Structures are given as C-alpha cells and as structure tokens.
Structure 1
Amino acid sequence: MIKNYQVGEFYTAKTFKESGFNFPDGEYKLKIIREGFPEVPVNDENELAIAEEQWLEGLEGSDQYKIDLDGNWYYFEFPINDEGIDYMWVPASVVVEVFE
C-alpha cells in the first residue's frame, strides 16, 4: 500500500541493503505526480528515455510492465550527489520500496 505522497515534501531514501535500489543518501523533494508514464519531459529531453530504460526495460510483456506503465510516476529532485542526476521519474512500485 503506497502512502499519501505530497508534492513539495521531502523524502529520505532507504539504503541499498534495505530497499535493493541504489539511491544516493539525502532528502528527495517530490516535484510532480503523474498518473501513468509521463508524456512530456519537464527539465531534460532525455529524462523520459532514461526513466523508460531504467524502470521499464526488460519488463516488456509482463504484468509488472503494465502496472508500472499505467500506475503513478513520481518526479523527484535528487539531493546533491556524485552521479550527476538532478531529477528522475520513478514508478510507484519503486517508490514504495525506496521511500516507505
């Protein structure tokens, strides 16, 4: 069950050991929530291609692909990090694992 995330609020990611996902330490500001995979980029032309590659690639044809594609997507502003990622779209299934 996904908690009620609020745009403008900050959320802290779990560690890799806790969630299985490697998100940098720090607080993530939730900027946007979209129902279904976003159709237009917000800050960068490549952000949707990156989100698709990161979260959907390899799931094609599976039930999880449809769930993630049609479910909510969360646009987080990343904390300062060495990875060079400023913002990223993240599907609800990953948000639940990383931020709850």
Structure 2
Amino acid sequence: MAVTMTSAAAKHVAAYLGKRGKGIGIRLGVKTSGCSGMAYVLEYVDQLEEEDSVFEFDGVKVVVDPKSLVYLDGTELDFVKEGLNEGFQFNNPNVASECGCGESFNV
C-alpha cells in the first residue's frame, strides 16, 4: 500500500512547514463527511503515531493512519494552479463517485 506526492505538492508543503517553523510533514486522512460519504483531511504532523505509515518525497513526509490508508492506497497528492485558483488535488484510483462540489467522495 502506498501514497505518492508530486514535486509541486512537496514544494508547497515544504514552504508551509518552513513558515510554520516546526513539523515533520503532513497527515493525509479521510473522515466521514459531505454528501458523498467521505472527505479528505490534511493537517500538519509534529509527532508520529506507532501505527502510522510514512511516505517521503523530496524530503517531505506524508503520514497516513491505517484506517485511512485502506481508502487512500494508490492516491497521488498534487498541488495545482489554475488561473487564480490553487490547491491540492487528490488523484485517488479508489473513488467510485464524487459529489458535484468535489469536496467528498465514495469508494
């Protein structure tokens, strides 16, 4: 099981960790939410938990808990800029459907 991150996403996370002044990476997870059932969660990681899976790209760690990894296996985390909009994009091969607003998904 694995999660990957593009160079663009790694650069963006590294810049924010630098501004923050602490942290070892970001935690990628899922929670029950939204109209399609599940939503992605991103947060800074200051300390690893024993059961965490850790994936590293360009010096940036992506940390995933075991319950979330089941839904995130094979996901690529990207950071994209389209016109005035920018943000993370989750390329998850497990997604069966997404809500119209793109905030939640179903597997």
TM-score, normalised to structure 2, is: 0.30
User: Who wins on radius of gyration, i.e. which is larger?
Assistant: 2
TM-score, normalised to structure 1, is: 0.31
Which structure: greater helix fraction? 1
Which structure: greater strand fraction? 2
